Chain A
């Protein structure tokens, strides 16, 4: 099990969706429509869920059938015999199988502990959770934070290998870093050619404006997708 890499957490949740449907629409179709119509960037519900780095939702309709012949790495006796009989030839092909349920897949990368993350999720985005998961099996038993956590634990699949190519800092630290990087680049460009005295003065103003240590102060907002609010406080 490797759900964590430092303080970064890799969450996988597979929630089976109920069979059939209502109002002439299948449950799967309803779930798909509801997740496809979620807002982008700042309008996404994940922008309100604390510490979410990256998250996604999709539907696993079925498993995939590998129909291509050959290229197997494991010795398959049937492949040798397949030149003698059609029955053996068919046996050498990969097995075709299907899922009996369709699954809503929720994948999230976030900072911190799973318990805290689920708590933040429930407290901040209860309506979103109920809308998206309402047609999933056993979700009707979810009515508070405790039952929500229990439900997610039942649906969770442990990550086998988690690769962190970024940082495991809190989201506030990551966003502050991006803000400072952008502001310093602008400062360096705007203050080229100034005298030492002017430069020092401008730098002092810059530092008091960006408030390096203040994570709640001026920074990028979660999912900020334009520079229109650049430099404004959260």
Chain B
């Protein structure tokens, strides 16, 4: 299990829904895509890199060979994948407090969805339906989603600033340089590995070592057995 890659957490949640309500859920998502202002609450939260909802109709699980048994399901399923910064509790709670109605709308037709308020049944629901990730990768483990957005802003601002200082005197340069820093003061936070980066790395290393040691002891045991058998 490796739900964490640096500052990002990978959450997978699978929830059943009545097959005949899939169209209604699709309609809600379609409206959200057409009118991005409906996702304003998610943008305000500002702790998500990327998130997605995928509805799998009950007869659409991939079937690749006649030898593979075909799924026979009564429910369709909704998969939710998100990449966020911070802890599990912070994320789930911020959803509840910031966008309860939007959240309830997205999961409205899912079986036994308890609504996002009160908090405890909602926590239980997410925890119960969550599937752990086995391998998780982030291209920038030291950065949050806000860092990536800030990086874009900083680079663009510095490029634009450089166009204005070609013939500037040192005093003019200094004045404009300070102005630029004031504009960027909220985007210049230092980035370093969080303690979680090393904890997650340590856990994966220990698991790999444990798995290697089990394999080695199995090989040793098999070797001993083979040697003890008379020729």
By a CB distance below 8 angstroms, the chain A residues around B73 are: 63, 97, 99
Q: Is the CB of A105 within 8 A of B154?
A: no
Binding site for B on A (CB under 8 A): 2, 5, 8, 10, 12, 14-16, 19, 32-33, 35-41, 44, 46-47, 52-60, 63-64, 66, 68, 70-74, 94-95, 97, 99-101, 103, 105, 107, 109, 137-138, 154-155, 157-167, 169, 171, 173-182, 184-185, 188, 195-197, 199-200, 203, 207, 212-213, 220, 222-227
Q: Is the CB of B14 within 8 A of A41?
A: no
Q: Is the CB of B189 within 8 A of A54?
A: no
Q: Is the CB of A97 within 8 A of B75?
A: yes
B173 at the interface (CB under 8 A from A): yes
* Complex-state Cα separation, A70 to B48, whole angstroms: 32
Q: Is the CB of B60 within 8 A of A167?
A: no
Contact of A200 among B5, B135, B173 (CB under 8 A): B173
B123 at the interface (CB under 8 A from A): no
Complex: chain A residue closest to B56, CB-CB: A157
B221 at the interface (CB under 8 A from A): no
Q: Is the CB of A41 within 8 A of B158?
A: no
Give 5 closest A-B pairs by Cβ, nearest first.
A177-B151, A165-B48, A196-B170, A66-B112, A138-B64
* Complex-state Cα separation, A157 to B81, whole angstroms: 13
By a CB distance below 8 angstroms, the chain A residues around B174 are: 196, 199-200
B103 at the interface (CB under 8 A from A): no
Interface 1/0 per residue, B135-153 and A, CB below 8 Å = 1111111110101111111
By a CB distance below 8 angstroms, the chain A residues around B54 are: 12, 157-160
Contact of A188 among B51, B64, B129, B188 (CB under 8 A): B188
Q: Is the CB of B171 within 8 A of A36?
A: no
* Complex-state Cα separation, A12 to B142, whole angstroms: 25
* Complex-state Cα separation, A141 to B2, whole angstroms: 30
By a CB distance below 8 angstroms, the chain A residues around B51 are: 162-163, 165
By a CB distance below 8 angstroms, the chain B residues around A167 are: 148-149, 152
Q: Is the CB of B135 within 8 A of A44?
A: yes
B201 at the interface (CB under 8 A from A): yes
Known: A12-B79, A66-B16, A137-B65. 10 other contacts (CB 8 A): A2-B33, A36-B134, A94-B16, A100-B69, A166-B148, A176-B151, A181-B147, A200-B173, A203-B177, A227-B193
Q: Is the CB of B39 within 8 A of A163?
A: yes
| Shortest Cβ gap from A78 to chain B (Å) | 14
Q: Is the CB of A184 within 8 A of B42?
A: no
Q: Is the CB of B49 within 8 A of A72?
A: no
| Shortest Cβ gap from B100 to chain A (Å) | 15
* Complex-state Cα separation, A16 to B70, whole angstroms: 11
| Shortest Cβ gap from B157 to chain A (Å) | 9
Binding site for A on B (CB under 8 A): 1-2, 5-6, 8, 10, 12, 14-16, 18, 21, 25-26, 29, 32-33, 39, 42-43, 45-56, 60-65, 67-75, 77, 79, 81, 83, 106, 108-109, 111-115, 121, 128-129, 131-143, 145, 147-155, 158-159, 162, 168-171, 173-174, 177, 181, 184, 187-193, 197, 200-201, 204, 207-208, 211
Complex: chain B residue closest to A169, CB-CB: B152
| Shortest Cβ gap from B142 to chain A (Å) | 7
Q: Is the CB of B61 within 8 A of A14?
A: yes
Q: Is the CB of B33 within 8 A of A40?
A: no
* Complex-state Cα separation, A177 to B9, whole angstroms: 22
By a CB distance below 8 angstroms, the chain A residues around B8 are: 54
Q: Is the CB of A35 within 8 A of B152?
A: no
Given contacts A154-B62, A164-B50, contact A95 B135 (CB under 8 A): no
Q: Is the CB of B193 within 8 A of A225?
A: yes
Q: Is the CB of B69 within 8 A of A199?
A: no
By a CB distance below 8 angstroms, the chain B residues around A15 are: 62
Q: Is the CB of A185 within 8 A of B188?
A: yes
* Complex-state Cα separation, A203 to B208, whole angstroms: 46
By a CB distance below 8 angstroms, the chain A residues around B173 are: 196, 199-200, 203
Q: Is the CB of A212 within 8 A of B39?
A: no
By a CB distance below 8 angstroms, the chain B residues around A70 are: 112
By a CB distance below 8 angstroms, the chain B residues around A181 are: 147, 150-151, 154-155, 187-188, 191
Cβ contacts A to B, 15 pairs, < 8 Å: A36-B207, A53-B49, A53-B139, A64-B14, A66-B111, A70-B112, A73-B108, A100-B72, A160-B52, A165-B42, A180-B154, A184-B154, A200-B173, A227-B192, A227-B193
